């Protein structure tokens, strides 16, 4: 294919931006053929009349770029026109064609939501990482993070989202939802996900976060009593749940209590790996606030985000495919 003048100019520049490095690295680790194979049966083929649909992989690339940079449907359409790096990632040559518009992406996103395909994307990515030996399945870290929702009632319904709720953490109140995740204890890669309202207790979702093959489960003090719940009664695992803060503060300098404190530090070191995916989703991808109304739509987005976060984290364990971080 003949290259346009803008492509040649872009290829000849000396400085490689962080966005280019990030997208290049991501392009190398996304299992494109596996994802396309999983989604192909649900994607419209087009009839004898009218324009054929835009290629599935191109729409998938546009959707992934949107998630990684925290953009709206209109925002990613504009970004394709503004950024040569994003155009190159999506596969658009403006000298020959226009970028898919926001409405086309909206229809694609709704197709993913309607058929639960973001979960399929998440599972296909994890299957690919398991083949690379990055999902060891021996231990699971259970954790949850709050994601804010707009508290304002200045909207069409004059009401806050009824599926979101308020909760208190420390001395501060939060309104929104929770992303409950189960992560691999060795790599920090997320293997299980459940979205709920913010006021749902972490411990009640533990059974959704176990894959069944783990031998050890690590959790913070919010998971105290997880081993006694009916939903986890059949789990043949060793539970490593943190002490409550008051209990730990009450430890003395006796030899037994020093051992207990050392055990708490060891458990905390393992649990810290479970924070890595939260860092990618919230800080690198900028997903600190829900984009849609309702738990289901936002949970669908979270499956895509955490699947992509796993790929970003996996790059560190695949040196030949390392990329940068989005700017």
The pLDDT value recorded for residue 6 is 55
Average pLDDT in the chain: 91
Task: CATH number for 136-296: choose from 3.40.50, 3.30.420, 2.30.30, 3.30.310.
Answer: 3.30.420
- Closest of 122, 297, 283 to residue 192, by C-alpha: 122
Break the chain into its structural domains and give their ranges.
5-115, 136-296
d(CA 126, CA 181): 14
Angle formed by the axes of helices 295-315 and 18-29, to 10°? Answer: 100
Q: Is 217 helix (H, G, I), strand (E, B) or coil?
A: strand
Query: Could you tell me the pLDDT band of residue 325, with boundaries at 50, 70 and 90?
Result: very low
Is it the case that residue 319 has pLDDT exceeding 80?
Answer: no
Intra-chain end-to-end CA distance of the chain, in Å? 30
pLDDT value at position 316?
78
Min mean pLDDT across 6-10, 47-51, 69-73, 165-169 is at: 6-10
Average pLDDT over residues 247-271: 96
Tell me: the pLDDT tens digits for 186-226?
999 999 999 999 999 999 999 999 999 999 999 999 999 99
The alpha carbon dihedral of 216, 219, 221, 222 has a sign of: negative
Burial pattern 300-315, b for ≥16 Cβ within 10 A else e, equals bbbbbbbbbbbbbbbb
pLDDT in tens, 296-307: 999 999 999 999
Q: Is 320 helix (H, G, I), strand (E, B) or coil?
A: helix
pLDDT at 171: 87
Over residues 122-149, the pLDDT tens digits come to 999 999 999 999 888 899 999 999 999 9
- For residue 245, what are its two tokens? 């803060």
């Amino acid at each position: 294919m003949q290259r346009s003048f803008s492509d040649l100019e872009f290829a000849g520049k000396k400085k490689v931006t962080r966005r280019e490095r990030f997208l290049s690295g991501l392009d190398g680790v996304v299992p494109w053929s596996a994802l396309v194979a999983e989604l192909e049966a649900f994607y419209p083929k087009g009839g004898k009349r009218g324009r054929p649909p835009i290629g599935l992989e191109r729409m998938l690339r546009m959707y992934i770029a949107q998630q990684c940079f925290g953009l709206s449907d209109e925002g990613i359409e504009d970004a394709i026109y503004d950024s040569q790096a994003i155009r190159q990632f999506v596969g658009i040559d403006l000298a020959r064609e226009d970028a898919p518009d926001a409405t086309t992406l909206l229809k694609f996103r709704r197709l993913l939501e309607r058929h639960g395909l973001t979960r399929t994307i998440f599972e296909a990515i994890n299957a690919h990482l398991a083949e690379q030996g990055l999902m060891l399945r021996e231990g699971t870290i259970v954790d949850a993070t709050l994601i804010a929702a707009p508290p304002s009632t200045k909207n069409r319904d004059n009401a806050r989202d009824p599926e979101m709720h308020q909760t208190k953490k420390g001395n501060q109140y939060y309104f929104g939802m929770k992303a409950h995740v189960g992560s691999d204890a060795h790599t920090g890669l997320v293997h299980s996900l459940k979205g709920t309202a913010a006021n749902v207790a972490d411990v009640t979702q533990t059974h959704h976060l176990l894959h069944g093959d783990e031998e050890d489960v690590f959790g913070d003090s919010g998971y105290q009593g997880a081993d006694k719940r009916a939903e986890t009664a059949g789990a043949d695992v060793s539970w490593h749940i943190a002490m409550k803060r008051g209990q730990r503060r009450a430890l003395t300098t006796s030899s037994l209590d020093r051992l207990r404190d050392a055990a708490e530090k060891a458990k905390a070191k393992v649990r810290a790996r479970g924070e890595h995916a939260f860092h990618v989703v919230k800080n690198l991808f900028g997903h600190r606030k829900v984009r849609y109304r309702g738990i289901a739509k936002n949970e669908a987005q979270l499956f895509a985000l955490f699947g992509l976060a796993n790929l970003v984290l996996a790059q560190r364990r695949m040196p030949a495919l390392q990329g940068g971080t989005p700017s």
